[in-house]
Amino acid sequence: MAVMVDSCVLLDVFNRDSQWFEWSSGALAEAADSGSILLNAVIYAEISIGFAHIEQLEGFLPPDIFVFQDIPREAAFLAGKCYLKYRRRGGSKAQPLPDFFIGAHAAVARVPLITRDTKRFRDYFPGLRLIAP
């Protein structure tokens, strides 16, 4: 079974986060044992900040486990609708949030999302299956 992974989970592992490393690395290992782990351009951009060169990042993302997917138009449309809902609720960000693209992509692809930051995903993607602590 394929799953999508939120950037924060990968960053926890890359940075050996003292609070979240154990949970995040365990969730990734479990996902890798049962299928592929999906990334998109938003996730890739967010995790790239800790690496000086693309080759370094790619070394942490074995292609037999991590699969890069383009964000489909349907997901981009859904992300825009979630952003509109966010603004109508009083949200102040002037651009759609990365979580909207990540959540919409997982929702449209009908795959679970591994995350430890559940609030926004639960609020805007109530049918999305989350793998969370």
Q: Cβ atoms within 10 A of the Cβ of 9, count?
A: 27
Query: 45: buried, middle or exposed (CB in 10 Å: 19+, 13-18, 0-12)?
Result: exposed
Class of domain 3-131: alpha beta
Report the predicted TM-score, pTM, of the whole model to 2 decimal places: 0.93
The encoded tokens of residue 89 equal 């609720």
* pLDDT tens sequence across 17-33: 999 999 999 999 999 99
Query: In this predicted structure, what is the pLDDT of residue 92?
Result: 84
The residue type found at 26 is G
Which residue is associated with the tokens 């383009």?
A: 70
| Domain ranges within the chain, ordered by starting residue | 3-131
Give the pLDDT confidence of 55-113 residue by residue, as tens digits: 999 999 999 999 999 999 999 999 999 999 999 999 888 777 899 999 999 999 999 99
Q: What is the mean pLDDT of the chain?
A: 95
